[in-house]
Amino acid sequence: MKMKISKILLIAVSIVPLAWFLPDFYDVLFKDSVRPPYVVYSAVSQDFYFFRSGKKGLTDREGNRYTEQQSDSLLPLFYYRQLYSQGKMPDTVRGVEIRPKMFKVSNYTVRLKSKDLDGPQIPLQPLFESVLRRGKLSFPHDVFRINKRMEFLDCASNQVNEKKSEAFTRALNEAGFQYPAARIYGNPSARKAYDWGYFVIDSSEKLFHVRMRNGLPLVKAVKLPEGVKKVARVQVTEQSSRRYYALVLSEAGNVYYLRSKSYQWVQFPIPPIDVYHENISISGNPLYQTIRIVGKGRVKAYAVTKDFKLENEYSEELPVWENSGKGRVKQYLFPFELSAFRAGSTFVNFHLKNFSWQAVFVNMLFSLLIVFWGRKRKQPANKLMLSFAVCLVAGVYGFVGAAVFQD
């Protein structure tokens, strides 16, 4: 009896690594990764163009290829560096005068990966002094936490700075903050031009902007956009235009910018995205913002003007490897596989996924095989039943487990 329990446990526990390594090994051998095309928007023709892996140069929706010269004239805002250096940059694009300085102010890229919604993070952040000294940001000597109050810890002594903690706690209290902080967003790096502090979600899902100016707290409760109950993510942008504080994704998938100073919201005129499964990147140039969304087997792109009007959109289904020959074979071979990550998180979170009913046939085959083998070795019926059941449920993993832990 005790032996039987230990045997069943061993078979069960051997399925765990097998369900990881065998499908992984299959992928290493046979899986071709599908690279989504890189989508760019032409301000000249007002349409989308593509850089596709395996194909040289720019293509359009129909797949026509463009020469370097054609590309340059289609995408002056994309190739502006080369065009300026060659002296070929047009003075106006779509009737708007373009000056070199505009790129420095308007160009930016924000990339938000769905997996970064949640992850292992040590909840201590440095709060930068937002008034620059000699035009530079300097790394503070302390970090803060917001639990029962806001506390600053001095790095060198590992002790709480009471005075500073009290001042900031008071400022948070006055702004109506509910402790503890649920999430804290910011860029804890001195390698940026200036600092816009942190956006903190409190325990009642309200948003606060926390900064330090001349060593004093500057806290503002920020009203969420109409209809937004929960913020999924805040990306403090700290762009050179200083136009926006942050890019905000609501739980429902709407994308907003928070305007600096006025704290007004502007919403991107695009359909909501799936924040748990879709990666979003936004790149801006002097005339447009191009939004690219990749995920759930699709690439989507939107061209949005500076005043947030949708000008054009594009959507393309990506080929799914699972539907290819090798991908289908995999579904027949493996009844499920072990996955380390769940959508929207970089925590390792082992779980079974890709359950496949097609694997039933192969499972049956393994079941019969192990019964046949057991009969040859004159195994009693109850042991055969166990092996049979294990193979039927866990297919090849069960077969290996039951074969290795046969008594």
Point out which residues bind another protein (CB under 8 A): 2-3, 5-7, 9-10, 12-14, 16-18, 20-21, 119-126, 139-141, 143, 145, 153, 155-156, 158, 188-189, 340, 346-350, 400-401, 404-405, 407
- Classify burial at 337, counting beta carbons within 10 Å of its beta carbon; exposed 0-12, middle 13-18, buried 19 or more: buried
Contacts of 132 (CB under 8 A, 6+ apart): 194
C-beta of 34 vs 190, nearer to another protein: 190
Contacts of 163 (CB under 8 A, 6+ apart): none
Q: Shortest distance, CB of residue 144 to another protein, whole angstroms? A: 11
Contacts of 76 (CB under 8 A, 6+ apart): 43, 44, 83, 89, 90, 93, 98
C-beta of 17 vs 271, nearer to another protein: 17
C-beta of 198 vs 257, nearer to another protein: 198
Q: Shortest distance, CB of residue 352 to another protein, whole angstroms? A: 11
Rounded CA-CA distance 176/348 in Å is 35
CA 49 to each of CA 83, 90, 109, 289, 318: distance values in angstroms, whole numbers, following the listed order: 19, 20, 18, 15, 16
Q: Shortest distance, CB of residue 148 to another protein, whole angstroms? A: 14
C-beta of 187 vs 241, nearer to another protein: 187
Q: Shortest distance, CB of residue 101 to another protein, whole angstroms? A: 33
Structure tokens belonging to residue 321: 């490897």
C-beta of 20 vs 103, nearer to another protein: 20
CA 162 to each of CA 140, 144, 168, 175, 210: distance values in angstroms, whole numbers, following the listed order: 16, 12, 10, 20, 18
Q: Shortest distance, CB of residue 194 to another protein, whole angstroms? A: 18
Q: Shortest distance, CB of residue 100 to another protein, whole angstroms? A: 34
Q: Shortest distance, CB of residue 8 to another protein, whole angstroms? A: 9
C-beta of 17 vs 90, nearer to another protein: 17
Displacement of CA 332 from its chain's centroid (Å): 31
C-beta of 143 vs 318, nearer to another protein: 143
C-beta of 190 vs 216, nearer to another protein: 190
**Nearest C-alpha neighbor of 273 from the set 260, 282, 264:** 282
Q: Shortest distance, CB of residue 385 to another protein, whole angstroms? A: 18
Q: Are 260 and 248 in contact (CB under 8 A)?
A: no
Q: b vs e for 145-177, b when ≥16 Cβ sit within 10 Å of the residue's Cβ?
A: bbeebbbbbeeeeeeebeebbebbbebbeebeb
- Classify burial at 309, counting beta carbons within 10 Å of its beta carbon; exposed 0-12, middle 13-18, buried 19 or more: exposed
Q: Shortest distance, CB of residue 55 to another protein, whole angstroms? A: 34
Rounded CA-CA distance 93/72 in Å is 13
C-beta of 125 vs 169, nearer to another protein: 125
